[in-house]
């Protein structure tokens, strides 16, 4: 727990380090109660910085000894205060020897060196290395590491660190050692060690240049039946990066280690990726299709960091998106390529758009809004956000949209040619893209510096005598905290025009044939583009493929949307048209429900909409995966974002009404699709099978939104008979949603069967936490369940965060009980793990959007947390910003 007053750190204050580190030799005597760390570093004065003071960070560690060039330093030679160790005057070349002690078993923050299930793990990004030893813990200090690990051999038979294993052997007293050497310079945040009782699946893999690499996936004993998919994903990732970008694995050995106590998804430590078990362990019995997809994506993401993040790293943490946005883009493209088909690619793109809208747009419109490259922060851990990651990936994607796949590759090649083994800025990546493609990207910089989601409005006018179609594009961007005014962005707008038959017209702009889709470049606040030779009134398909992260507005009629929903050759916009049709109904019905005091009585859904849903449901020419996406309504959260003074109950009633109405009026079609999309035979997580299951299971969920004996029996049968978690969890979800008594029994059966599988127990908690039938009292009861603990992040998220974020009706209960619960849990979690607490704290971000009576209570809850004397910087920053903005 930090006790000093939170300091804001500004990007403009960047100063290069006074000393650079060439080598680091670390010696660990691992003991959960008292680990001794010996650190010997060679430093060299940085001529680019000036100054003779050596500045080291250190947090929650005890300094035991400090020697400079062989001489023990006297108290007057250095200052140790505020988590900083400053040596006042040093010569040009320095050998520093530091001995310190930490207590891993008491480290509940999961940052630094900690114990999980009796095993040692580290997490150093962003600023965890300073919790292990004194060091200039900043990413622009890159050094070569040699690591000696010593520990009890029986308790910790496996000793791992970055790079290559140089030596290992036995010591006295039942201890043993391992010596590791990382041949590459790296920043301290990529350091890792594991000392544990684990087992591994391993194999050698032939790299493109003919070398053999040893690949390992390390897990706890008993989990070797769940490592195949991670290993397979790793091999696919290695192959893909070789083929797509010419980037090879630069080590002889690559390790993945799973731990059940982890703050995030996974971590890209050089050669030793450490993972949340959620993104490693899978077999059909315990993991869903979505889990399999998550594993493939996260394994790829961490592997791709080896080049985009590790070989080329960030100068400072404001540049985080340099590695994260780029690496998310790379893992997105990998996922699309693994599916391979055009519609498969489109479905992954639709997933990305949904994530962006559901999570990033609200962030960009709320109190924590920040540019992709932030200008300031209090706690960097609060900036591992959907903006830095997902919007950052959209910004990278726009280069590819502007320059094509080949142009993008040229930019990547130049980036590595210029910056390998350097710590650089987002500007350096943009410059490489510009220079490789001979383009001026000065204005494009605004995507990095301006927060907020731009609004793009279009107006189209067909001239029936001139046969022209004039498309006017107008952009604006709402103010965000600290940025009242915005300048126009450079926006690639992919456009198509559909004729009356639904076919793409050929686009001619300035006498140039642009094919079926033209990427227009909007750089002004307002610009018009004229398409010539347009012989009939077209329907415009604007922002195809979601070519920029903006909110698109246009005066669509239902007829236009139905036309696009039936015919658009761009699957993303085809889906988008359906979402617009649904959103207009959701908003209308939510308004009506609210006006009728949320009785839900006499709501009505038009035949036009039902008919559109019917058509897409039964269209056998469309991929099942796409049909599922098209049938999935915008979430309650997305609807709430569109309403000022929102009443979450009205939104819930409206959405439930539509779901039930679809379930009732399309009963026959839903049953038929359920049958048609069964996947008999052995389970396979491939995209085609997963798509069928998704369509079948959304059909089941609609049927049970208006339950009758048949639909309940169908869900019960699927629950009883399915051999895979995707179908079992979907069936259980359908039973819970249908509110039938069978649900309670099924939940019991499920728990009994899977109580030994932590990740499935998380699902069990999560399904209950998010059910609209689960109120605060029920959540409190679940917290008393023997399997619940606040100390494990996955478990805490599965119940507490799932309730606060995914159960809007109960969380926003009019009596404020949900908010009181939130405040209580944020405070309790903060004492254990500030990073997890701070993410939960963000459940209140959008408090100003709610109905006045709710707003008042949300504000009171925020004030209650803010008024706590003992609060981490993490949570303090979030609640302070929420109250201020
Ligand atoms: N760099 C990791 C990734 O995106 C993110 C991460 C893992 C992280 N663990 C963390 C960030 C802990 C902050 C704190 O791949
Ligand atoms: Zn990452």
276 lines ligand 1 (CB under 6 A): no
Number of domains the chain contains: 1
CB 652 within 8 A of CB 809: yes
Whole-number Å distance, alpha carbon 384 to ligand 2 midpoint, is 9
**Closest residue by CA, ligand 1 atom 7:** 267
Residue 129 lies in a domain: yes
87 lines ligand 1 (CB under 6 A): no
Query: Quick one: pLDDT at residue 4?
Result: 53
- Nearest Cα neighbor of 299 from 333, 326, 265, 270 is 265
Query: Quick one: pLDDT at residue 50?
Result: 87
Helical pair 607-618 and 571-595, crossing angle rounded to 10 deg: 140
686-718 pLDDT, tens digit per residue, is 999 999 999 999 999 999 999 999 999 999 999
Contacts of 200 by beta carbon, 8 Å cutoff, 6+ apart:
216, 217, 218, 219, 227
Residue 659 lies in a domain: no
Average pLDDT for 201-214: 98
Collapsing DSSP to helix, strand or coil, 30 comes out as coil
Query: Which DSSP string do the residues of 337-401 spell out, in sequence order?
Result: HHH-SHHHHHHHHHHHHHHIIIIIHHHHHSTT---SS-SEES-GGGG-SHIIIIIHHHHHHHHHH
Instruction: Report the residue among 258, 266, 272, 327 best suited for mutation to probe ligand 1: largest number of ligand atoms under 8 A from its CB.
Output: 266
Whole-number Å distance, alpha carbon 323 to ligand 2 midpoint, is 7
Instruction: Report the residue among 237, 259, 263, 304 best suited for mutation to probe ligand 1: largest number of ligand atoms under 8 A from its CB.
Output: 263
263 lines ligand 1 (CB under 6 A): yes
CB 41 within 8 A of CB 54: no
Query: Quick one: pLDDT at residue 6?
Result: 82
**Which atom of ligand 1 lies at the shortest distance from residue 298's CA?**
15
Whole-number Å distance, alpha carbon 189 to ligand 1 midpoint, is 10
Average pLDDT for 764-776: 98
The residues that are catalytic are: 302
Residue 838 lies in a domain: no
pLDDT band at 3 (very low <50, low <70, confident <90, very high): very low
Query: Quick one: pLDDT at residue 673?
Result: 98
CB 264 within 8 A of CB 277: no
Whole-number Å distance, alpha carbon 302 to ligand 2 midpoint, is 6
313-322 pLDDT, tens digit per residue, is 999 999 999 9
**Which atom of ligand 1 lies at the shortest distance from residue 305's CA?**
15
**Which atom of ligand 1 lies at the shortest distance from residue 262's CA?**
9
107 lines ligand 1 (CB under 6 A): no
324 lines ligand 1 (CB under 6 A): yes
Please say if the pLDDT value at position 602 is more than 90. Answer: no
Query: Which DSSP string do the residues of 254-281 spell out, in sequence order?
Result: EEEEEES--SSSEE--TTEEEEEGGGT-
**Closest residue by CA, ligand 1 atom 14:** 125
Nearest listed ligand to the Cα of residue 264: 1
Whole-number Å distance, alpha carbon 266 to ligand 1 midpoint, is 6
Range of 87's domain? 9-197
Place of tokens 């990740």: 759
What does the DSSP 8-state code read for residue 248?
A: -
Average pLDDT for 267-287: 99
**Which atom of ligand 1 lies at the shortest distance from residue 302's CA?**
15
**Closest residue by CA, ligand 1 atom 1:** 267
381 lines ligand 1 (CB under 6 A): yes
99 lines ligand 1 (CB under 6 A): no
Residue 54 lies in a domain: yes
Give the β-pairing of 158-161 and 193-196.
Answer: antiparallel
Ion ligand 2, residues whose Cβ is below 5 A away: 324, 327
Q: Is 885 exposed, middle or buried (0-12, 13-18, 19+ CB in 10 A)?
A: middle
Query: Quick one: pLDDT at residue 479?
Result: 98
493 lines ligand 1 (CB under 6 A): no
643 lines ligand 1 (CB under 6 A): no
pLDDT band at 1 (very low <50, low <70, confident <90, very high): very low
CB 775 within 8 A of CB 813: yes
Note the pTM of the prediction, 2 decimals: 0.98
- Nearest Cα neighbor of 613 from 705, 514, 710, 503 is 705
Residue 752 lies in a domain: no
As a whole number of angstroms, the distance between CA 265 and CA 298 comes to: 7
Whole-number Å distance, alpha carbon 653 to ligand 2 midpoint, is 38
Structure tokens at 5: 């007053």
Whole-number Å distance, alpha carbon 267 to ligand 1 midpoint, is 5
830 lines ligand 1 (CB under 6 A): no
Mean residue pLDDT of the chain comes to: 97
**Closest residue by CA, ligand 1 atom 2:** 267
268 lines ligand 1 (CB under 6 A): yes
Whole-number Å distance, alpha carbon 298 to ligand 2 midpoint, is 9
477 lines ligand 1 (CB under 6 A): no
Contacts of 323 by beta carbon, 8 Å cutoff, 6+ apart:
305, 308, 309, 312, 313, 314
**Closest residue by CA, ligand 1 atom 5:** 267
**Which atom of ligand 1 lies at the shortest distance from residue 381's CA?**
13
Q: Is 514 exposed, middle or buried (0-12, 13-18, 19+ CB in 10 A)?
A: middle
384 lines ligand 1 (CB under 6 A): yes
Q: In what order do the strands lie in the sheet with 512-513?
A: 512-513, 508-509, 526-532, 468-476, 455-463, 551-554
pLDDT band at 2 (very low <50, low <70, confident <90, very high): very low
654-689 pLDDT, tens digit per residue, is 999 999 999 999 999 999 999 999 999 999 999 999
Whole-number Å distance, alpha carbon 158 to ligand 1 midpoint, is 24
**Which atom of ligand 1 lies at the shortest distance from residue 324's CA?**
4
71-98 pLDDT, tens digit per residue, is 999 999 999 999 999 999 999 999 999 9
Residue 639 lies in a domain: no
Nearest listed ligand to the Cα of residue 379: 1
Residue 74 lies in a domain: yes
509-527 pLDDT, tens digit per residue, is 999 999 999 999 999 999 9
Place of tokens 């004065």: 45
Query: Quick one: pLDDT at residue 599?
Result: 80
Average pLDDT for 621-638: 98
718 lines ligand 1 (CB under 6 A): no
As a whole number of angstroms, the distance between CA 338 and CA 236 comes to: 8
Whole-number Å distance, alpha carbon 329 to ligand 2 midpoint, is 10
Which of 155-175 are b and which e, b meaning 16 or more Cβ less than 10 Å from the residue's Cβ? bbebbbbbbeeeeeeeeeeeb
Question: Residue 126: is the preceding peptide bond cis (ω within 30°)?
Answer: yes
As a whole number of angstroms, the distance between CA 453 and CA 60 comes to: 40
CATH assignment at residue 70: 2.60.40.1730
Residue 100 lies in a domain: yes
Average pLDDT for 472-486: 98
Question: What kind and span of H or E run contains 794?
Answer: helix 793-796
Query: Quick one: pLDDT at residue 601?
Result: 74
Nearest listed ligand to the Cα of residue 322: 2
């Amino acid at each position: 727990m930090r006790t000093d007053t939170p300091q804001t750190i500004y990007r403009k204050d960047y100063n290069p380090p006074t000393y650079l580190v060439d080598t680091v030799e670390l010696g660990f005597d691992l003991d959960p109660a008292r680990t001794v760390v010996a650190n010997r570093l060679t430093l060299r004065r940085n001529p680019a910085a000036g100054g003779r003071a050596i500045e080291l960070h250190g947090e929650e560690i005890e300094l035991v000894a400090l020697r400079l060039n062989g001489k023990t330093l006297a108290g007057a030679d250095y200052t140790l205060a505020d988590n900083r160790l400053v040596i006042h005057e040093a010569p040009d070349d320095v050998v520093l020897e530091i001995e310190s002690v930490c207590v891993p078993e008491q480290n509940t923050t999961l940052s630094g060196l900690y114990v999980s299930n009796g095993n040692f793990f580290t997490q150093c990004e962003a600023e965890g290395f300073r919790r292990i030893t004194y060091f200039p813990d900043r990413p622009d200090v890159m050094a070569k590491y040699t690591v000696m690990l010593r520990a009890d051999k029986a308790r910790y038979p496996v000793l791992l660190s970055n790079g290559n294993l140089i030596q290992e052997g036995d010591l006295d007293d039942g201890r043993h050692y391992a010596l590791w050497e990382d041949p590459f310079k790296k920043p301290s945040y990529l350091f890792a060690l594991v000392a544990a009782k684990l087992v591994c699946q391993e194999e050698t893999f032939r790299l493109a240049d003919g070398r053999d690499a040893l690949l390992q996936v390390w897990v706890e004993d008993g989990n070797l039946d769940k490592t195949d998919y991670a290993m397979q994903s790793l091999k696919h990732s290695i192959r893909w990066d070789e083929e797509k970008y010419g980037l090879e694995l630069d080590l002889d050995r690559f390790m993945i280690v799973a731990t059940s106590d982890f703050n995030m998804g996974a971590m890209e430590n050089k050669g030793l990726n450490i993972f949340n078990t959620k993104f490693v362990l899978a077999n059909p019995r315990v993991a869903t299709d979505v889990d399999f997809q998550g594993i493939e994506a996260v394994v790829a993401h961490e592997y791709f960091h080896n080049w985009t993040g590790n070989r080329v790293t960030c100068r400072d943490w404001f540049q985080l998106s340099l590695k994260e946005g780029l690496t998310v883009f790379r893992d997105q493209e990998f996922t699309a390529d693994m599916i391979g088909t055009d519609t498969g690619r489109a479905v992954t793109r639709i997933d990305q758009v949904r994530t962006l809208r559901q999570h990033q747009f609200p962030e960009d419109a709320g109190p924590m809004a920040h540019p992709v490259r932030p200008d300031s922060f209090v706690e960097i851990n609060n900036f591992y956000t959907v903006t830095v990651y997902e919007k950052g990936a959209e910004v990278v994607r726009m280069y590819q949209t502007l320059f094509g796949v080949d142009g993008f590759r040229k930019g990547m090649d130049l980036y590595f040619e210029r910056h390998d083994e350097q710590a650089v800025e987002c500007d350096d990546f943009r410059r490489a893209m510009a220079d490789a493609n001979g383009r001026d990207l000065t204005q494009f910089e605004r995507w990095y510096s301006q927060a907020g989601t731009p609004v793009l409005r279009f107006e189209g006018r067909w001239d029936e005598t001139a046969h022209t179609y004039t498309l006017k594009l107008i952009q604006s961007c709402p103010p965000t905290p600290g940025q009242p005014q915005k300048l126009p962005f450079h926006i690639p707008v992919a456009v198509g025009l559909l004729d009356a038959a639904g076919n793409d017209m050929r686009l001619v702009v300035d006498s140039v044939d642009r094919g079926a889709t033209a990427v227009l470049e909007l750089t002004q606040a307002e610009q018009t583009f004229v398409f010539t030779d347009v012989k009939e009134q077209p329907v415009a398909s604007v922002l195809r493929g979601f070519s920029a992260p903006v909110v698109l507005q246009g005066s669509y009629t239902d007829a236009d949307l139905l036309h696009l929903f039936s015919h658009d050759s761009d699957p993303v916009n085809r889906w988008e048209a359906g979402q617009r049709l649904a959103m207009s109904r959701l908003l209308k019905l939510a308004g009506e429900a609210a006006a009728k005091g949320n009785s839900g009585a006499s709501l009505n859904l038009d035949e036009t909409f039902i008919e559109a849903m019917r058509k897409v449901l039964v269209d056998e020419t469309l991929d099942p995966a796409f049909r599922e996406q098209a049938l999935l309504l915008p979430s309650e959260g997305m609807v709430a974002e569109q309403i000022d003074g929102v009443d979450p109950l009205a939104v819930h009633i409206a959405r439930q009404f539509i779901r039930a109405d679809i379930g009732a009026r399309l009963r026959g079609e839903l049953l038929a699709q359920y049958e048609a999309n069964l996947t008999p035979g052995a389970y396979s997580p491939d995209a085609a099978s997963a798509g069928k299951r998704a369509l079948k299971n959304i059909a089941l969920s609609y049927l049970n939104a208006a339950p009758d004996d048949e639909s309940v029996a169908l869900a019960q049968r699927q629950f009883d008979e399915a051999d895979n978690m995707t179908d079992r969890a979907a069936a259980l979800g359908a039973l819970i949603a249908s509110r039938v008594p069978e649900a309670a029994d099924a939940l019991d059966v499920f728990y009994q069967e899977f109580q030994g599988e932590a990740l499935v127990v998380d699902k069990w908690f999560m399904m209950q936490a998010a059910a609209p039938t689960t109120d605060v009292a029920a959540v409190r009861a679940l917290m008393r369940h023997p399997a619940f603990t606040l100390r494990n992040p996955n478990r805490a998220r599965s119940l507490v965060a799932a309730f606060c974020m995914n159960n809007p009706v109960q969380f926003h209960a009019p009596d404020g009980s949900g908010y009181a619960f939130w405040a209580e849990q944020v405070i309790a979690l903060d004492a254990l793990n500030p990073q997890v607490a701070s993410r939960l704290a963000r459940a209140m971000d959008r408090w100003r959007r709610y109905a006045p009576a709710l707003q008042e209570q949300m504000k009171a809850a925020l004030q209650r947390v803010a008024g706590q004397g003992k609060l981490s910087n993490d949570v303090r920053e979030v609640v302070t910003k929420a109250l201020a903005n």
